[in-house]
Each structure stands twice: as C-alpha cells, then as structure tokens.
Amino acid sequence: MLTSPRFFVVHVIYLRPLSEVEPLVAPHREHLDRLVSDGRLLLSGPLVPRTGGLLVMRGQDRTEVERALAEDPYHKAQVARFELLEFSPVKFCEELRALFGQG
C-alpha cells in the first residue's frame, strides 16, 4: 500500500460536552474502521478521562492524513479538533518491528 510511510500521532480533543460527542461515536468508529481497512489507522482509543482520544496513523505525507481526518464525523460536526504530530519510530518492541518497516 505505502512505499515509504510516515507516522503520526493524532490527539483528538473534544470541543463540546460529551453529551454532544456521544451521538457521533458510532459513525466516528465506522470511519476509523475504514481507515484501518485501508491501512491508514494503526491503533486508536479514548483518553482516560474521556476528553478526547489518540490515533496512531500512517500516510505518504501530512496532507494525506489531514484529508482522512477531514472526513471524520467529529470534524464535520465540529465537536473535536485534531492535533497531528509526525514522528520517526526508532525504538519499538519486537511485535511492532514489521509494522514500522524494520522487519
């Protein structure tokens, strides 16, 4: 799928009360399922306490990841914003070696 992927941590920050976010959780997770299927999303989950979430994504560049996030129901409804941090993995457990292209 990707020849030389770049990796991103995405901090999802809720902008609205949880009562406004909650109705969008199912469509948000369906969107994440599509990102997993196409190889863009590596892992995700809510923060504790539930003030947002974290995503670990890969893509050819930042623009590709931003485009994928722009389709997220949270973004479309303006109940959350996404902060992207690009990183270069250099240390990881053996189970992640193939995932990050070192296997």
68-79 pLDDT, tens digit each: 999 999 999 999
Instruction: Tell me which CATH homologous superfamily contains domain 6-87.
Output: Dimeric alpha+beta barrel (3.30.70.1060)
Mean pLDDT of all residues in the chain?
93
Q: Which tens digit of pLDDT belongs to each residue from 28-57?
A: 999 999 999 999 999 999 999 999 999 999
User: What is the biggest distance separating any 2 CA atoms in the chain, rounded to whole angstroms?
Assistant: 43
Interatomic CA distance for residues 74 and 30, integer angstroms = 12
* Overall pTM surpassing 0.75 (yes/no): yes
Cβ pair 45, 54 in contact under 8 A: yes
SS3 call for 13: strand
